[in-house]
Chain A
Amino acid sequence: MAPALKFDSDHNTIEFNGSLVSLHCHHYNCGLLKTIEEVPLVDGHAVIIESAAEEFFVNFKQYLSRELEGVSADRALHEASELYRFMGFGRIDLSGLTAQGGMAYADSSYYVTAWLAKYGRRVTPVCYFTCGFIAGILGAIFDVPPHTYEVTETQCIIMGHDENCEFIVSKKRNAD
């Protein structure tokens, strides 16, 4: 993948692989997460995961069909981790994933780095966005809806796990 941002100076918009994107700092990204997860009676984490899954499903599927048609699942997973790194979300190893699920490991996480810088440690995981990313790109690669997969962060560096954030991925019971 050769990702590149295209700045449109007539409209002051940024296009990335055909979609409009914007740049946001950790004060906003973490403030948004904190605000959403503190809304009473709303499962904010689920909405974050769902929204991220849908966006990565649509955009990565489009990218696969346009630039990487026919590549193996392994290659597509590698390209997805490159996309994740390019967008500034960290470094993630997706090689343990298949159409059935599996494990993913991130040894660098934007949300961990950003949350530590803004609020310090926390006792719950913070990488909900990454859960949605994984669900979305798996849906795109294996040609199933983005909500087919359940992704849970079982260990998060922000909680004191030294080496990796770990994500367990499985198909939802009603997925087949």
Chain B
Amino acid sequence: MPIDSKRIIELTSSLPITSNEKGIIATFGVYVTINYNEFFFKLVSRVINMLDNSMGHALEQRLYDAVLECAYHTFHGARSSMDWRDLILPMIQTPEDEIHALVALTNIFGIGYVEVEELIPGEKLVTRVRNAYDPGRYLEEYGPQPRGRCYMLNACTASYMDLVYAAQYPNGMGTFTSTEVLCRSMGHPACKFVAEPKQSR
């Protein structure tokens, strides 16, 4: 495996993230903010707690879709950038390498320590996240949860497969879908996500 994930994280985490004179951060073809993890947890968990189970589930599905768009476009922007061309592309020889590189890149955004657990080319990707912020906070605030709460990392897992194995950008989004099969908010030791082609589910 020629991909050195640690090296990718080291290289990309040192790229400057700075706002311009007008306070706008534009990078990888998207507008970015730096925001407190606790803000997102409070906002989403409070709204979910105002809803019944089915509406809460529908809300999380919409948030999954929002993240899928975010991840699909942002990761494509990243892999099209000069930085990627200079620093990462020389390591990539196969589509599977690209999956590993995109997963490594995800680690610089502050949303958790993401690793590939299993990859079957074009068919299945399993990722594992040991320290996502929200599940720990759900446990603290609300106790064990009835289902996984990590819509963000769930959607990211599908997006890697969409970008690498589905139709060429921008036509492949939603080809794969991901399911959170383990979540720390449910008492599991880590969160685990399985992405597979949508029609196979």
Contact = CB atoms under 8 A, between A and B. Distances in A.
B38 A19 contact: yes
Interface in A50-64: 50-52, 54-55, 59
A85 B66 contact: no
Nearest to B63: A35
A11 B31 contact: no
Given A36-B43, A51-B42, A55-B36, A27 B70 contact: yes
Given A39-B51, A108-B22, A108-B24, A88 B33 contact: yes
B39 A25 contact: no
Interface stretch (B81-89, B93-101, B109-117, B175-183): B109-117
Nearest to B6: A9
B76 to A, nearest CB: 11
Interface stretch (A70-78, A109-117, A167-175): A109-117
Contacts of B92: none
Given A5-B34, A84-B23, A24 B70 contact: yes
B110 A23 contact: yes
B74 A21 contact: no
Interface in A1-26: 5, 7, 9, 11-14, 16, 19-26
Nearest to B65: A31
A7 B138 CA distance: 24
Interface string A38-51: 01001010011011
B147 interface: no
A36 B101 CA distance: 32
A108 B23 contact: yes
A34 B42 CA distance: 17
A23 B78 CA distance: 14
B47 A25 contact: no
Contacts of B35: 21-22, 24, 87
A86 B34 contact: yes
A22 B40 CA distance: 10
Interface in B40-73: 40, 42-44, 46-47, 50-51, 55, 59, 62-63, 65-67, 69-70, 73
6 contacts: A7-B13, A14-B109, A28-B67, A32-B43, A47-B43, A90-B23
